[in-house]
Amino acid sequence: MLAALPRRAASAMPSCASAFSAAARCRAYSSAAKPTLGFIGLGQMGYPMAANLARHTAQTHSLLVHDHDAATAARFAAAHPQSASVAESARAIAERADVLFTMLPAGKHCRSVYADIVEGLRHDALCVDCSTIDVATATEIAKWVKAKGAKIVDAPVSGGTGAATAGTLTFMVGGTAADADTARPFLEKMGKNIYHCGANGTGQAAKICNNMMLGICMVGVSEAFTLGKNLGLAPTLLNQILNTSSGRSWCTDTYNPVPGINPNVPASKSYAGGFGVALMSKDMGLATAAASQTQTPIVLGAAAEQVYKRVAAEKDCKGKDFSVVYQWMAAAGEK
């Protein structure tokens, strides 16, 4: 599959803009014979995902990266000198990439990036949008891209920053079977479970269902630990019991919201990093909007959305991982 990707002669390479550093320009030309991958959005998730992509494709592909935050893009290129270089804009990536990944916060960011790059996309290029966004925006962007003769799949992920770093993400792919097959070898560099869900937008549908469950579960786990504490139970003991009982979940055994229970999760690092509470609030909003469009009753999903909206607006919780809902709840329930 990789060999089937279009290869371009060095002479066909567009000239690098002056914003490129001499070193980056040199790298870009030295890898001119290789097919080009692009990655736009190097945040909590995008950075480690692109790092795995760079690591596993360094021999076969060059990688162009871009982020609103130029310092992050420069840091990424410096960390992957063999294959990665910074593009001066998202559009510059579109003009050169054979396969282009986007990992952006929300639908409005995807809309604005794709509106900007769609005219520049190479014929037959494949776009892989890994952001979590609403189904309607995903299908609309897919129409724009396909109208230009390029291809696109939505491929949102589950697993968090730990799985993004370990390369063990789950991808939920929406698009044609052929486009999903083209994306698969690249997704395998970043994840270990790849599901083709159906047409464009169905990857987002699966992701929205998953995150609604996760959001509800984290609120439930936080309530259980707050109640347990107020009943005099030590959190570590309660956690041992839950993890060998029917209350066990990913939120108890892997991503526990109580500081100190799981090492290396945001809760044990003052809730820094991870999956921002504002992003969870956004995803719960996607779920409640999808539920009202399909007239699906989601009592717990709607209640959890209200909780995350309040937590995301709290000064002490802003910018923190969504498991900070436990800290917020524990403070409210303090005796």
CB of 12 to ligand NAD, least distance (A): 26
CB of 274 to ligand NAD, least distance (A): 5
Encoding tokens for residue 299? 């009592």
**What is the rounded distance in angstroms from the CA atom of residue 199 to the CA atom of residue 202?**
6
Question: Is residue 160 part of the contact set for ligand NAD (CB under 6 A)?
Answer: yes
- Span near ligand NAD by CB under 6 A; candidates 54-62, 118-126, 275-283, 286-294: 275-283
Q: Is 207 a catalytic residue?
A: yes
Among 42, 172, 183, 205, binds ligand NAD (CB under 6 A): 42
Among 87, 90, 214, 312, binds ligand NAD (CB under 6 A): 90
Residue number closest to ligand NAD, CB atom: 43
Cβ proximity to ligand NAD: between 215 and 259 the closer is: 215
CB of 311 to ligand NAD, least distance (A): 16
- Span near ligand NAD by CB under 6 A; candidates 99-107, 117-125, 191-199, 301-309: 99-107
Site string for ligand NAD, 281-300 (x = CB under 6 A): --x-----------------
Among 19, 33, 55, 69, binds ligand NAD (CB under 6 A): 69
Question: Is residue 48 part of the contact set for ligand NAD (CB under 6 A)?
Answer: no
Question: Is residue 323 part of the contact set for ligand NAD (CB under 6 A)?
Answer: no
- Span near ligand NAD by CB under 6 A; candidates 107-115, 226-234, 248-256, 259-267: 107-115
Closest-CA residue to 226 (of 235, 217, 218, 236): 235
Most distant CA atoms of the chain, gap in Å: 72
- Span near ligand NAD by CB under 6 A; candidates 60-68, 236-244, 253-261, 287-295: 60-68
Cβ proximity to ligand NAD: between 35 and 274 the closer is: 274
Question: Is residue 190 part of the contact set for ligand NAD (CB under 6 A)?
Answer: no
Catalytic residue set: 207
Residues that bind ligand NAD (CB under 6 A): 40-46, 66-69, 72, 90, 103-105, 109, 112-113, 131-132, 157-158, 160-161, 274-276, 279, 283
